[in-house]
Structure 1
């Protein structure tokens, strides 16, 4: 393989059989269960990276389970995780704290392209008679169970669509060949071309079980605040770097050296 050909094909690994195709990535009939709960602000303070900020007086976490039956390049899969409402330079959005899913393609693409904190596990989202049920199993162990009354009341579509279109933030870390960080960035992305097909709310409950490698329970459920069930078509937009930690550190080091030289 000549160098020119290599560079033309080098968008993902392995180069001869990439784990995922090039984007854009369109999702049809995405289904969400989102349970928002209040947690311990000290626990949030330990995991939300600067310069993101969260509301100390209303420390919230969103437990999300997302069913994706028709996804360009990725197929049919489900994911779950925790998203923390934050602000970045005065703009409201969500910080993806952890994600678990059952499909290798979007795990590789999510980590390599955007910096999604994705790990392999087995989430599910299904309707059991009159209840919407979202679960997460890590190996043989049940880590999370979220339940919501099925379509008890319609939710405001405009408000739901606006929440999907808010900016989202990710901490992207890619190591160098010596194990040191080569990329350490705060990435912003958005969901685009959203077609909201329905939104509902109802009573909800959430149970999290401690697990060493899937530590959702480290952000404990103190009170369930709200729940929403959504169906939508959308495109996962590519990201942009909004804060480069390594460049900031290098800049501070240079400034520090210059200051000491002057002194």
Structure 2
């Protein structure tokens, strides 16, 4: 005689409330839950000044450029390990100021353009925070004391070339942890009744920390000799609309980072 234990009928159980908090769509998630961790990333950052009116055209209500010539940092990374998986990324981090509903002003970063080489961070960045991520071709390398990076989309079209000559070691205090703002919009499937399903200004944190070698030296370097060029201006990927007025130098090194879940700071109606 055999005994068959009672079995729960899961065929009609349906999705639970916890299932509905996962990635979209819930039955085909491309990424896990934040925070997302990055270890041993090779990153180059080149900072330059741009025009306030040019940056202002990219910003949602509540944000304004920080100063008459706000700083934009082109950040190109080779994420050799992350909980999204390995990928490369190129983003343009612009200094802005947030004025909240109480009139308090806070400095932060807004990312009008960002490119990746893999689908999980593409989907996660767009769905969770509204980052304007697209798939692109990103290359990085080093020859002698010069580090270089390129961004192409589509591959024959070179959108960006960045070059940095390393001068001196960098200090950990040179890397700030400031809020990162993004505009998360989900269009309506019934625009006749609801113009937009979701329109939110989101704040998160992405502290980038340089690694320390066994001898105590920080594994990050600074260079005053740097250049950044928008090789082929295109209407499809108008990164050139944040023009370079003055290059301020850049950093290159090995970093760890954590991308935090974030919070909603404003809902647009």
Q: Give the alignment partner of residue 25 of structure 1, picking from 36, 50, 72.
A: 36
Q: Distance in 2 between matches of 1:52 and 1:176?
A: 24
CA contact (8 A) 1:79 1:124 kept: no
Q: Tell me the residue number matched to 1:259.
A: none
Report the more deviating stretch, 183-192 or 56-65.
56-65
Give the alignment's TM-score, normalised by structure 2. 0.83
Specify whether residues 181 and 211 from structure 1 end up closer, same or farther in structure 2 by C-alpha distance, changes over 3 A only: same
Partners of 1:200 and 1:229 within 8 A in 2: yes
Q: What is the DSSP-based 3-state SS (H/G/I as helix, E as strand, rest coil) of the residue aligned with 1:12?
A: coil
In the TM superposition, residue 53 of structure 1 has moved relative to its aligned partner by 1.9
Would you tell me which structure has more helix in proportion to its own residues? 1
User: Which ranges in structure 1 are unaligned for 5 or more consecutive residues?
Assistant: 247-263
Paired position in structure 2 for 1:39? 50
Q: Is the 8 A contact 2:51 2:68 kept in 1?
A: no
**TM-score, scaled relative to structure 1:** 0.85
Structure 1 residues 235 and 56, CA gap change in structure 2 (3 angstroms): closer
Aligned equivalents of 2:245, 2:17: Cα separation in 1? 51
- Indicate how the Cα distance of structure 1 residues 112 and 153 shifts in structure 2: closer, same or farther if over 3 A, else same: same
Which residue in the other structure is 1:214 paired with? 237
Q: Aligned partners of 1:213, 1:58: CA distance in 2, in Å?
A: 25
Offset from partner CA, 1:19-52 (integer Å, 9 cap, x none): 1122331110122211111222221221122211
Q: Which runs of 5+ in 2 are unaligned?
A: 1-10, 100-104, 212-218
Correspondence 1:125 to 2:140: yes
- What is the deviation of 1:184? 1.0
Number of matched residues?
Answer: 240
CA shift, 1:102, in A, is: 0.9
Contact 2:47–2:72 under 8 Å retained in 1: yes
Q: Using the alignment, how far apart are the partners of 2:198 and 2:228 within structure 1? A: 35
Could you report, residue by residue, the CA deviation over 1:69-88 in whole angstroms, capped at 9, with x for unpaired residues?
A: 1011x211011121110111
Partner residue in 1 for 2:162: 146
SS in 2 for 1:177: coil
- Confirm or deny that 1:181 pairs with 2:204: no
Q: CA contact under 8 A between 2:42 and 2:79: conserved in structure 1? A: yes
**Residues 93, 2 of structure 1: alpha-carbon distance in 2 compared, 3 angstrom cutoff:** farther
The DSSP-based 3-state class of the residue aligned with 1:47 is: coil
- C-alpha deviation, 1:3, in angstroms: 6.0
C-alpha root-mean-square deviation of aligned residues, in Å? Answer: 1.8
* 1:6, distance to aligned residue in structure 2 (A): 5.0
